[in-house]
Amino acid sequence: MVREHTLHREDLIMPVFIDPRADTVREIPSMPGICNYGLDTVGREIEAILAAGIRQVILFGVPPTKDAVGSDTWDDEHGIIQRATRKLKAEWPELFVITDVCFCEYTTHGHCGVVADDGRLLNDPTLANLARQAVSHARAGADMVAPSGMLDGMVGAMRQGLDEAEFHDVSVMSYAVKYASAFYGPFRDAVDSAPAFGDRKTYQMDPANVREALVEAALDVEQGADVLMVKPALAYMDVIRAVREAHALPVAAYNVSGEYAMVKAAAERGWIDGDAVALELLLGMKRAGADLILSYFARDLATRLPSVAG
């Protein structure tokens, strides 16, 4: 009767990793229960996600080939995300497909854009490529694009590109506040995107900063973002709350790979009740102010949550 917050299945977004080998089902060792799927095997995972009552997925690609600029990302015909999006939207039109828009999985150096000879990430030359990638994803049928590179001006460049290509209805969920975090380890194993040299501290945020998060979020609002994301979630509940209070847009929290792996590892040892801990964490994110939560727990926990639809 006096409960203040409720976590609903509709709050959750399930990440899905797409592998170029069609028949792949490869469990990610540091993420029990999460697999890379090929185009021929992903259907089974999508059926399970929908059956659990989740309609939103975010796609990450493990590309067949990498190069210096990540050209697979804007290849309309052969791009891994383009092929997956076309297939998913054709077979499950009710599925809301979000695509991660970045370059780190697709470049030989593993950085999130164009890199100079001295190894620095070049912000502005990357923007045109981001717009190109977003438009190509939209052409394949993406409902929403999610730029995750933390580049200055990324939301504006993509919004402009989408509008010029008449994709006015494709929305943008910005990884507005993304920290240079140690919690992304398992994800980088999953998609083979650890930087070949250096780190991402020149474009991702310092975990010590919260005022900067508000500046980053405000820039994305101004540039036309539709959803503001905070990532990771667990160590940044205060940031979720701060962004929630400063802006009217929906706020998403990304319950990242390392947060998932910690719970799974402790549960495997019998040290904690994994499902109960996960539900408590997700509820905590909601209470902190998240409207949406991207989580690897989504598929398995959704059936234990109420639906907004009743």
Binding stretches for ligand PBG (CB under 6 A) = 100, 102, 104, 112, 148-149, 184, 187-188, 256-257
**Distance set, CA 17 to CA 71, 75, 174, 267 (Å):** 19, 18, 19, 23
Would you say 45 or 100 has its CB closer to ligand PBG? 100
- From the CB of 175, what's the least distance to ligand PBG, in Å? 7
* Tokens matching residue 186: 């398992």
Is 231 an active-site residue?
A: yes
- From the CB of 173, what's the least distance to ligand PBG, in Å? 12
* Tokens matching residue 124: 């502005």
- From the CB of 113, what's the least distance to ligand PBG, in Å? 10
- From the CB of 102, what's the least distance to ligand PBG, in Å? 4
Q: CA torsion sign, 152 to 156 to 145 to 250?
A: positive
Q: Which helix (H) or strand (E) holds 39?
A: none
Would you say 167 or 183 has its CB closer to ligand PBG? 183
Q: Are 83 and 139 in contact (CB under 8 A)?
A: no
- From the CB of 7, what's the least distance to ligand PBG, in Å? 19
**Distance set, CA 70 to CA 94, 102, 201, 209 (Å):** 30, 9, 20, 30
Q: Are 174 and 153 in contact (CB under 8 A)?
A: no
**Distance set, CA 246 to CA 198, 205, 221 (Å):** 33, 18, 11
Beta strands, E only, 179-233: 227-231
Would you say 8 or 188 has its CB closer to ligand PBG? 188
Point out the catalytic residue in the list 66, 87, 231, 264: 231
Would you say 84 or 112 has its CB closer to ligand PBG? 112
Would you say 89 or 188 has its CB closer to ligand PBG? 188
Point out the catalytic residue in the list 66, 87, 89, 178: 178
Burial (0-12, 13-18, 19+ Cβ within 10 Å), 262: middle
Residues known to be catalytic: 178, 231
